[in-house]
Amino acid sequence: MATAYLLGSAIKQTRLIVLVLLVTIATFSQSEAPVAEVKTAPPPDLNLVLQSIERVEQQNPALSRAHEVTRRYKAFYGDDTQPSAEITARMSFTPPDRSTFQIIQASGNPRGEKIVRDILEQETAPATAGHNGAINRTNYEFVFLRQENFGLIPEYVFRIVPKRKEKRLILGHIWVDEKTFRIRRIEGVPVKSPSLWIKDIHLTLQYADVNGMWMPVSLDAIATVRILGRYTLTGVYVEAPEPPSVTPHP
């Protein structure tokens, strides 16, 4: 009996020692394990970012250089996968603020051409009371939302709220390159419809460099036309062909 008692006591002590060792090892391991750092980037200085956006836009050669841009549009009715109309338009800009457009080709349903005309008339309309559609503090209130990456390009995302109800101004969001402060994307709705027969329209504009000028290179729009229903419009910049080289005769 005494032997059994001593054996049981020894087993209990052994178990206790093992348990203490396990707890000690676990505690030591946890204290030595690296702690994952969760870093939250502080919001940027809003005034400095907006000053940079405005400065970069003022230096954009597209504002001071006469140029022409050709765009090709396709209009889709409802959920159709084939375009109901195709339109090619040429935009001309003469400094400091004169813009015109010309439809140089149109085919298919004339309603598609009508939507394109309304959008281009809004884009080329003279500035109202000395205001233009520039993304700046004269025209908009800005709210910083977040930082995100476009591929490898870090961007700031802002909500923009127009200060006036004008056709040129958009209620929505902008994506700004953190390094260059160029606006890469604008998405939203005009605070004033381009025409009475368009009930509402949602626009997405993508920007890129074109011959040293920063300008829209693609447009996607979803418009609800009164009575007629929903139309989707896509527009892309068409690279103008290089003039043929002339080789002098010997």
What is the residue range of 85's domain?
Answer: 60-238
Average pLDDT over residues 141-160: 94
- Report in angstroms the alpha-carbon separations of 243 from 66, 240, 246: 18, 9, 9
Give the C-alpha distances (Å, rounded to integers) separating 180 from 17, 87, 217: 64, 33, 18
Residue at 44 is within a domain: no
pTM for this entry: 0.77
Q: Is the pLDDT of residue 244 over 50?
A: no
Q: Does residue 27 belong to any structural domain of this protein? A: no
* Residue that is written with structure tokens 């005009």 in the block: 190
Q: How far apart are the first and last CA of the chain?
A: 125
Whether 89 shows a pLDDT value over 80: the answer reads: yes
Query: Phi and psi of 173, rounded to 5°?
Result: -135, 155
Is residue 243 in some structural domain? no
Query: 129: pLDDT confidence band, cut at 50, 70 and 90?
Result: low
pLDDT of 13 reads 53
For residue 153, what is the domain's CATH number?
2.50.20
- With vertex at residue 55, the alpha carbon angle to CA 186 and CA 211, rounded to the nearest 5 degrees, is 65
Most confidently predicted of 48-52, 147-151, 243-247: 48-52
Residue 3 lies in a domain: no
215 occurs within a structural domain = yes
> What backbone torsions phi and psi does residue 247 show, to the nearest 5 degrees?
-90, 120
Average pLDDT, the chain: 83
For residue 111, report the phi and psi dihedrals to the nearest 5 degrees. -65, -35
Structural domain tally of the chain?
A: 1
Is residue 47 in a domain? no
Residue 39 has what DSSP assignment? Answer: -
> Does residue 132 lie within any of the structural domains?
yes
With 0-12 / 13-18 / 19 or more C-beta atoms within 10 angstroms meaning exposed / middle / buried, residue 21 is exposed
String of b and e for 124-134 (b: at least 16 CB within 10 Å)? eeeeeeeebbb
Residue 229's pLDDT is what?
Answer: 92
Unique residue bearing structure tokens 């139309």: 231
Decide if pLDDT at 242 tops 60: no
DSSP-assigned letter for residue 166: -
> Quick one: pLDDT at residue 246?
43
Whether residue 96 has a cis bond before it, omega within 30° of 0: yes
Residues in a beta bridge with 69: 91
Query: Is the predicted pLDDT of residue 216 greater than 90, yes or no?
Result: yes
pLDDT confidence of residue 143: 97
Please provide the size of the chain in residues. Answer: 250
**Segment 183-212, tens digit of pLDDT:** 999 999 999 888 888 888 999 999 999 999
Q: Do the domain assignments include residue 1?
A: no
Residue percentage of the chain with pLDDT more than 90: 61
- pLDDT for 97 equals 85
The pLDDT of residue 249 is: 43
Looking at the chain, the whole-number percentage of residues with pLDDT higher than 70 is 77
